[in-house]
């Protein structure tokens, strides 16, 4: 089925279009599933850098000789890199996010290795009004990370606040 949905550009003049991104709270509905693109390949170098940048001392991520003696036989990609990449990859649908309120759960279901390509997909589990705040609404979503073989490597459930349509002053800032 090829049916188009939502708006990628706003017409701002004759023959002039401006890119837009991020659905408004009003656009979301329980049960929707969004496949995010692009995917992103993570390398062993990314893994080393993420470990060093965050002060992670677990050598399973950056000592290949040590990793070769474990059951995994090669370095495991640090799970904090995986979750940062997955949430980042959702940005085009969720760019009007105010913040993530909490995660109920993050499960690392299969190992990730350097060279794997990650894709994110998100299911809208629940949509709620926010009492006393007309600017935004709350979504409960499940984001899954899928690798190049189609295997789910991570699943997380979290709550986020998303702006409603008229509360982002896009015109004023030329967005």
Partner 1 sequence: MATFASHRKLSDNSYIEIAGVEYDDFEEGDIFEHRPGRTLTADENRLHTMRAADLSPRVVDAVYNENVYGGQQVIGETFVLSVVTALTTKTFNKVVANLGWKNIEFPTPVMAGDTIYAESEVLGKRESQSRPTQGVLHIRTRAVNQRGEEVCRFERRLLIYKRGLGPYEAAGY
Task: Point out which residues bind partner 1 (CB under 8 A).
Answer: 21, 38, 40, 46, 50-51, 53-60, 63, 65-66, 68-72, 76, 78-81, 83-89, 91, 95, 97-108, 111, 158, 168-169, 172-173, 175
Give the position of tokens 């495991």: 76
Contact between 145 and 164 (Cβ < 8 Å)? no
Closer CB to partner 1, residue 61 or residue 127?
A: 61
Closer CB to partner 1, residue 2 or residue 35?
A: 35
Count other C-beta atoms under 10 Å from residue 169's C-beta. Answer: 8
CB of 16 to partner 1, least distance (A): 19
CB of 96 to partner 1, least distance (A): 9
CB of 91 to partner 1, least distance (A): 4
Closer CB to partner 1, residue 108 or residue 142?
A: 108
Closer CB to partner 1, residue 69 or residue 132?
A: 69
Q: In whole angstroms, give the CA distance from residue 11 to residue 17.
A: 4
3-class DSSP state of 68: helix
CB of 3 to partner 1, least distance (A): 26
CB of 73 to partner 1, least distance (A): 11
E runs forming strands in the chain: 9-13, 16-19, 33-35, 40-41, 97-108, 117-129, 136-146, 152-163
Closer CB to partner 1, residue 30 or residue 88?
A: 88
Contact between 45 and 132 (Cβ < 8 Å)? no
Residues in the chain: 175
């Amino acid at each position: 089925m090829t049916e188009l949905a939502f708006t990628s550009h706003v017409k701002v003049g004759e023959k002039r279009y401006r890119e837009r991104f991020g659905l408004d709270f009003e656009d979301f509905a329980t049960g929707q599933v969004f496949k995010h693109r692009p995917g992103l390949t993570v390398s062993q170098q990314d893994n080393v850098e993420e470990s060093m940048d965050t002060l992670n001392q677990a050598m399973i991520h950056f000592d290949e000789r040590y990793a070769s003696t474990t059951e995994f036989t090669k370095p495991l990609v640090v799970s904090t890199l995986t979750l940062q990449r997955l949430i980042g990859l959702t940005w085009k649908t969720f760019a009007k996010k105010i913040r993530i309120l909490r995660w109920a759960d993050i499960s690392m279901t299969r190992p990730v290795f350097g060279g794997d390509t990650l894709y994110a997909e998100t299911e809208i589990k629940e949509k709620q009004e926010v009492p006393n705040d007309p600017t935004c609404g709350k979504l409960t979503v499940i984001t899954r990370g899928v690798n190049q073989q189609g295997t789910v490597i991570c699943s997380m459930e979290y709550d986020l606040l998303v702006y409603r349509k008229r509360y982002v002053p896009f015109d004023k800032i030329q967005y």
